[in-house]
Each structure stands twice: as C-alpha cells, then as structure tokens.
Structure 1
Amino acid sequence: MGLHSLRFQLVDNEDSWAARRRQRRAGWLAETFPRLAEMSVLDLGGRVDTWLRAPVRPAHVHVVNLEPAPAEVPDWAEVDHADACELPSDITRRRYDLVFSNSVLEHVGGHERRLRFAAAVRTLADAHWVQTPYRYFPVEPHWLAPGMQFLPVRARTMVARHWPLAHSPAKSHEAAIAQVLWTELLDRSQLRHYFPDSTIRVERLAGLPKSLIAVRA
C-alpha cells in the first residue's frame, strides 16, 4: 500500500512530479506551434482530458483511441473509436493542421504497425508532434521499475505481475505477458527511421534522455 501510494505521488496524482513534467511538455508544444489555439489537431491515442488541462487548447481536437468514447464530449472536440494504425477512410480523407501523439508509439504492436502509424502521422498533416519514452532511460516508465525493459520476456512478465509500483498489477500471467508484449520502448535510431524528416527533440531528467519527440513544425 505504501509503495503504491508512492506511485500516486510520483506519477498518477494531478499534482505529481510526472504531471508537472507533462505540463512542461505542453508548454513546449505551445511554444513550438504559436498558432495552436487556431489549429485543428488529430490526437492519435490520446484523451480529451489532456486538452482540458492544457495551457493552450486548439480550436478543434479530434481524438482517436481504442478506448470507449467518454459520455460527454465538449463542442470543440470529437472522439472516434479506431485503430491509429488502420484508420477508417472517413478520417484518412481529412486534413489537419497538426497530428499529436503522446506515449502511444511504443504500444502499437511492432515495427510494421509503427511504420503504418508514422505514415498516417506524416500524411494527415504537414506538422506533427510524436512523443515516446526513451528506451535507454534507466527506469521503465510504465512500471517505474529500474532496468525492466532490458530483461527477458519471462522476467518482465514477473515484474508486471508483482511489481508494487505498477499502475494496476496484472491479475494473471496471461494479462501480464500481454502488457509486456504490447510495450516496446524505442531508441533514437528507430524514431529517426519512422520520422526521417523530423527534428528529434530530447526531454531530459537529471541530464539523461528520458523521452524523445519527433517534431515537424
């Protein structure tokens, strides 16, 4: 209970250290795109709540996620239940000012699906902002487990099953291995491969690269 409370203080609380980092990143986004308040944004894998808390809210946000849509959606937003790697034609026919994605690329399911995700990002808007945790930061960010990403699958599954700092420890072996196999952190070479014409921005913690952001403004 004590360790899970520690996770709440570090990551999950709206006043947590991680929440402050997310707000700082939102500030970078607004600085990078000075017209953000006038833009139409496609958010792949995000949530409307992210934009409710943002220091600058776009004129229109279209959220695409595999999660069920919230019961209430503000008039400046729309939400679709869809796979960002296999977007339906009614979305691919549209154009946006900016495609945004935060901590999604590492969960889409392998190299071939990451290629499709990146192709959609580059096709649907001239500008994009795609953030993903950096593989070689010493602490795995989803479980807050030091070095977990470097372990064999069996060991990572054990961590996912029992590590007390996990957001929601898996209730079975099958659930744990699914979480592990659907989480694949990327390095700079990979992100550069998916977004060859983008600037790769590095977010640091204590001088160490913590996450990478592919930006085209």
Structure 2
Amino acid sequence: MRARRAGWLAEQFPDLAEMSVIDLGGRVSSWAGAPVRPKHVHVVNLERESGDVPSWAEVDHGDACDLPEAIRGRRYDLVYSNSVIEHVGGHERRLRLAEAVHALADSHWVQTPYRYFPIEPHWVAPGMQFLPAAARTTMAHRWPLVHSRADDRAGALESVLWVELLDRTQMRYYFPDSTLRAERFAGLTKSLIAVRAA
C-alpha cells in the first residue's frame, strides 16, 4: 500500500524530485527509501529524529499545529502529511494543522486512515474505533496484533485517546479546495488523501 501511495504521489507531482517539501509529522527515513525523493525535505515532528540528517533534509522538533514563526514564514512547493491529522488532538488542533497546510504551500498531500474501514489500523482490530473508550482501552492493552503494547491500562487509555479517525465530511471541511482521493483495500476505502496541486 505504501509503495502504491508513493507512486500516486509521484504521478500527482511529476516534478517531485525538484521540489521543496515540508513533511508535517514525518521522518527522514521515510523519504530516504522513497522511489522519488524531493530536492529538499523539511521534517517537523514532535518526536526527535535520531541519527545523522542527510544533506537533502532538514529536521525541526516542533508541533505541526503550532509552528514557530521561523517555519510559518517560509514557503514550500508541497506540504506532505501522512497519518498525522488523526493524532493531533481534537477539532481545534486539526483546524490549526489544516491552516498550516494551506499557509505553507499552494500544493498539499494529506493522508489519513478512514474511520469507516472495518479494521482499526493502529491496533489492526475489527471495529475497535466504534467501541466506547473503556472497551477500546481493554483491546489496546490486550489485543495481540497491536504494533507496540502499552505497559498498563493507563498507558493503553492514553494511546486510545490520542487516536481520532476521520471521515469524508471532516476531511472535506478541513480541505475544501482539495480533491479527496480514496485508497482502497478489497474494494473498501482504507484511507483518504486530500490532494491539491497548484
């Protein structure tokens, strides 16, 4: 799926190799292995990047919903954000992320897992996103397919509360001038991508 998504990105932005891209919430390692790498990638993430930063990249520790002025005042060819908007913490912060996306470049690519895909993607659990928080917490703590299991119930609840999957209406609200592309698996929409090409 990631390889296909990378292909779509390169098709949508045929000049990607010559572009300046800001990646909100991403990692340099994701771009290092990409089939087409932009000329310059500026990664902004709340989690600190470990290891050396290649010459084609720039890394800042920061909040994509509250960017420092030094970043807000810059312009890029493309804003890219992959599976981040569902983790930022509520409607107000999603609005602020969307505002940053619109302000930093005329073009963007913002992907998020689709709320109504039957498998919750973070825990690979059927229907988990539709359960009450207490039941989701129990699943997050005990479900065998989880990527990284919390040590205790409090940690599981913390993980659960930081995930709010979005639907089409929400994505259209945050990105009204974008094309909304559906990424499908077995005929069902698995994720949504808001795309705008200048």
TM-score by length of 1: 0.90
Question: Is 1:107 aligned to residue 91 of structure 2?
Answer: no
Q: How much does 1:70 deviate?
A: 2.0
Comparing 62-71 with 72-81, greater Cα deviation is found at: 62-71
Measured against aligned partners, the alpha-carbon deviations of 1:161-195 in whole angstroms (never above 9, x if no partner) come to: 11010011111111111100000000000000000
Q: Offset of 1:51 from its aligned partner?
A: 0.5
How far the C-alpha of 1:65 sits from its partner, in A, is 0.4
User: Is 2:67 the counterpart of 1:90?
Assistant: no
Shift of 1:69: 2.1
Q: Which amino acid aligns with 2:21?
A: V
Q: Give 1:26 deviation, angstroms.
A: 0.4
1:54 aligns with 2:34: yes
Give the TM-score normalised by the residue count of structure 2.
0.99
Is 1:154 matched with 2:137? Answer: no
The answer to whether the aligner puts 1:141 opposite 2:118 as a matched pair is no
**Hey, which of these two has a bigger chunk of helix by percent?**
1
Q: Distance in 2 between matches of 1:140 and 1:161?
A: 15
Write the distance in 2 (CA, Å) between the matches of 1:45 and 1:150.
Answer: 26
Letter aligned with residue 134 of structure 1: Y
- Partner of 2:50 in structure 1? 70
Distance 1:80 1:70 in 2: 12
Q: Could you tell me how far apart the structure 2 residues matched to 1:34 and 1:162 are?
A: 44
Partner residue, 1:171: 151
Distance in structure 2 (CA, Å) of the matches to 1:101 and 1:37: 17
Q: Provide the C-alpha distance between the structure 2 equivalents of 1:56 and 1:111, rounded to a whole number of angstroms.
A: 33
Runs of 4+ in structure 1 off by over 2 angstroms are none
1:193 aligned onto 2:173: yes
1:71 deviates by 2.2
Distance 1:101 1:77 in 2: 16
- Alignment coverage as a number of residue pairs: 197
Residue 216 of structure 1: how far off its partner (Å): 0.2
Aligned partner of 1:6 in structure 2 is none
The aligned residue for residue 164 of structure 2 is 184
Contiguous gaps of at least 5 residues in structure 1: 1-20
